[in-house]
Amino acid sequence: MINFKRSVNCGGCSECNNKSPLFNSLSSEELEIINKDRFEVTYKSGEMIFKQGTASTHILMLTSGLVKIYLEGYNSKNLLLKVIKPPRIFGALGIYFDNRNYYTATALENSTVCFVSVDNFKQCVRSNPDFAEKFIEHLNRNSVYAFGRFVDLTQKQMPGRVADALLYLANDVYESNPFKITISRQDLAEMTSLSKESFIRILKEFKEENIIKMNGDFIEISKMDALKKISQVG
Amino acid sequence: MINFKRSVNCGGCSECNNKSPLFNSLSSEELEIINKDRFEVTYKSGEMIFKQGTASTHILMLTSGLVKIYLEGYNSKNLLLKVIKPPRIFGALGIYFDNRNYYTATALENSTVCFVSVDNFKQCVRSNPDFAEKFIEHLNRNSVYAFGRFVDLTQKQMPGRVADALLYLANDVYESNPFKITISRQDLAEMTSLSKESFIRILKEFKEENIIKMNGDFIEISKMDALKKISQVG
DNA sequence: TGTTAGTATTGATCTATGTCAACCAAAATT
DNA sequence: AATTTTGGTTGACATAGATCAATACTAACA
């Protein structure tokens, strides 16, 4: 029996040492509620986890791997909002009004996701004000982040946006420099709202100016200050 | 004594018939908590209510007038997020982490705003799960709206964005057609992420194609279907 | 009532960025 | 090993949209 187990790698939420800090405010009884109908699914790199427009049936927890969150726009153009890494909750945007997904989530690497019942989650929000506050904080931080991206994409021009993407990968996604890239040029283009060709052209310029080094799948930011300056200037 | 009154136009939140539906789930005791330290301020058209980056000391309720909410970006370029009309809560984004304002709010017309204590507001969120849920719904709807704008601004080109702005004014802001415009071309440009000149040029094209009529401050959408089509095509 | 200041409009020009098409490299498949 | 497929790269070209500068309008004001 493969992939039908209630949970493969863990002894339940109470013992989980890889859960989102959001859950720290829950008592062990409440964690048991979260754990009750929970199940785990593994995704291969490239597989879609849920699609924009479909019913949002569960709250999702990324426990391993890497996932891209993106908006499907017009003419099959996407807008990559963010790349999330574990531990991280996602997919909760529609659960308090129409239970729909407002973005698409796709695995960028092999990933494991816990599915938590929306009702059980909501029950904890209702019973535990600390948890509710943490959840609201999480939502608001997401909004603030989105606002920042909003301004960056509408006001910076190409070099600034590409610099932002590189800094984001090094500082937030892979948390290392150099880093091995597991995300396609197309994804990077969608992250910066550029055409793939334009993104590549700027990358080439950075390389020629020795701001970055590239060999194969590895990218190293060699002049961090220069890149930060480009990001700021726009 | 002018403008130091605790409240000018009302007999407290319990009796307020102009409060955001968000507050419908509050008991009269809880409304009294909201009402406790509340005060009212009137703004003249053009006056700033709060500025991005400053301390977010209160939750605000727009009770009359019209207010623009915008992000201050780079090189003093703004991004107008939305125009809000009463009854409407605003200014609550930072209250669960750093108590800062993440956008600027400025009166577009003479406006009245109720200032509610953050602590009292939070107390109600903690004590009343229905209220907490409504508040979360409000926040998430805001996010979904922002996502839509995000895609529109990054993927549509000029005519689509101008069409969106006109439809927004007619359907959501003034809720009438024709409507008298109380918002500058600069604001409209910032709403569509265009230069003022480009916005005006497209407006002129719409006029020449008889899609809209303009005289003075009045705009009428005469070919609604055509405008909607332009909005969809992008 | 003339003047000033702010906002709206128009035209001319420039440039950032997208599109299209060709080519290459690596990986997957036969 | 040969071949198809997929994703990355480069160059040539087209264009959406910004910028700059001049002009027109409107409203406040002396």
Residue B136 domain-assigned (yes or no): no
Confidence at residue A7, expressed as pLDDT on a 0 to 100 scale:
61
pLDDT category of residue B9 using cuts at 50, 70 and 90? low
The DSSP secondary-structure symbol of A170 reads: I
Considering only CA atoms, which of B220, B75, B62, B81 is closest in space to residue B147? B81
A219 vs chain B: nearest CA distance in angstroms? 27
Confidence at residue B234, expressed as pLDDT on a 0 to 100 scale:
77
- Domain at A184, CATH number: 1.10.10.10
Considering only CA atoms, which of B8, B195, B13 is closest in space to residue B112? B8
A8 vs chain B: nearest CA distance in angstroms? 32
φ/ψ of A126, rounded to 5, equals -75, -40
Query: What angle separates helix A196-208 from helix A158-168, to the nearest 10 degrees?
Result: 80
Strand D nucleotides where any atom sits below 7 Å of a protein CB: 7-12, 16-21, 26
3-class DSSP assignment, residue B115: strand
φ/ψ of B226, rounded to 5, equals -60, -40
Asked if residue A190 and residue A114 are part of one domain, the reply reads: no
Tell me if A136 and B147 make a contact (CB, 8 A cut-off). Answer: no
Single residue among B94, B129, B164 that ends a domain in this structure: B129
Strand C nucleotides where any atom sits below 7 Å of a protein CB: 7-12, 16-21
Interface residue of A155, A193, A194 to substitute, partner B, most B CBs within 10 Å: A155
Asked whether B191 and B167 are in contact (CB, 8 A), the reply is: no
Residue A42 domain-assigned (yes or no): yes
Q: B78-84 and B67-72: which strand pairing? A: antiparallel
Structure tokens at B15: 């009796």
Name the domain count of chain A: 2
Q: pTM of the full predicted structure?
A: 0.95
Asked if residue B224 and residue B173 are part of one domain, the reply reads: yes
Average pLDDT (B200-208) is 97
Residue A82 domain-assigned (yes or no): yes
- Interatomic distance A2 CA / D8 C1' (Å): 37
Asked if residue A127 and residue A72 are part of one domain, the reply reads: yes
pLDDT category of residue A11 using cuts at 50, 70 and 90? confident
Question: Residue B108: which domain range?
Answer: 13-129
Cβ within 8 Å of residue B225, ≥6 positions away: none
Asked whether A109 and A45 are in contact (CB, 8 A), the reply is: yes
Residue with nearest Cα to nucleotide D26 C1':
B216
φ/ψ of B88, rounded to 5, equals -160, 135
Residue B134 domain-assigned (yes or no): no
Asked if residue B111 and residue B36 are part of one domain, the reply reads: yes
Cβ of B214 near strand C (distance < 7 A) = yes
Considering only CA atoms, which of B187, B157, B207, B172 is closest in space to residue A77? B157
Residue A8 domain-assigned (yes or no): no
Is B52's Cβ below 8 Å from some Cβ in A? no
Asked whether A110 and A41 are in contact (CB, 8 A), the reply is: no
Cβ within 8 Å of residue A51, ≥6 positions away: A72, A101, A104
Asked if residue B87 and residue B34 are part of one domain, the reply reads: yes
Tell me if A151 and B73 make a contact (CB, 8 A cut-off). Answer: yes
Give the nucleotide at minimum CA-to-C1' distance from B186: C7
Tell me if B151 and A71 make a contact (CB, 8 A cut-off). Answer: yes
Single residue among A149, A181, A216 that ends a domain in this structure: A149
- Domain at A81, CATH number: 2.60.120.10
B142 vs chain A: nearest CA distance in angstroms? 9
Asked if residue B193 and residue B104 are part of one domain, the reply reads: no
Q: How far apart are CA A140 and CA A22, in angstroms?
A: 13
Q: Considering only the beta carbons, identify the residue of A92, A147, A234 that sits closest to B102.
A: A147
Q: Considering only the beta carbons, identify the residue of A125, A141, A154 that sits closest to B193.
A: A154
What amino acid is encoded at B52 in this protein? Q
Q: How far apart are CA A99 and CA A92, in angstroms?
A: 9
**Weakest-pLDDT range from A179-188, B16-25, B58-67, B161-170:** B16-25
Is A229's Cβ below 8 Å from some Cβ in B? no
Tell me if B71 and A125 make a contact (CB, 8 A cut-off). Answer: no
For chain B, the maximum distance between any two Cα atoms, rounded to a whole number of angstroms, is: 58
Q: How far apart are CA B111 and CA B195, in angstroms?
A: 28
Residue pLDDT, tens place only, B93-131: 999 999 999 999 999 999 999 999 999 999 999 999 999
Single residue among A129, A149, A169 that ends a domain in this structure: A149
Is A145's Cβ below 8 Å from some Cβ in B? no
Q: How far apart are CA A221 and CA A228, in angstroms?
A: 10
Residue B7 domain-assigned (yes or no): no
Residue with nearest Cα to nucleotide C20 C1':
A197
Residue B121 domain-assigned (yes or no): yes
Asked if residue B112 and residue B180 are part of one domain, the reply reads: no
Residue pLDDT, tens place only, A19-47: 999 999 999 999 999 999 999 999 999 99
Asked if residue B35 and residue B120 are part of one domain, the reply reads: yes
**Weakest-pLDDT range from B10-19, B92-101, B143-152, B202-211:** B10-19
Give the nucleotide at minimum CA-to-C1' distance from B196: C8
Asked if residue A24 and residue A131 are part of one domain, the reply reads: yes
Asked if residue B28 and residue B105 are part of one domain, the reply reads: yes
Average pLDDT (B51-75) is 97
Asked if residue B117 and residue B36 are part of one domain, the reply reads: yes
Residue B119 domain-assigned (yes or no): yes
Asked if residue A186 and residue A142 are part of one domain, the reply reads: no
Residue pLDDT, tens place only, B70-98: 999 999 999 999 999 999 999 999 999 99
Nearest CA in chain B to A76: B155
